[in-house]
Copies of this chain bind each other. A is one copy, B any other.
């Protein structure tokens, strides 16, 4: 286990970045669909382009997603497996505890 201050800081920054409804929504979509470009994202979320782009840059700065340019479009995808695992952990529904 790695409890150094550096790792703690980097990790908390990642969590803070994930801790925003719109950004978390983006990440869950990426976890499901693999990847997409910014335009597709603007469609399903009704936010102005600059807002979406800014969120993506923050996710990128935190090491959560990565960008790949193909011509005019930029495709985003999850950068590391950890985030995917966390999302799966957080969003698996009540299966396994069938009360409620």
Contact = CB atoms under 8 A, between A and B. Distances in A.
Interface of A: 1-3, 5, 7-9, 11-21, 23-25, 28, 82, 85-86, 89-94
Contact of A1 (B15, B19, B82, B93): B93
B15 A18 contact: yes
Given A1-B91, A3-B25, 10 more contacts: A2-B94, A8-B24, A12-B20, A13-B19, A14-B19, A15-B18, A16-B19, A19-B19, A82-B90, A86-B86
A99 to B, nearest CB: 15
B16 A3 contact: no
A48 to B, nearest CB: 19
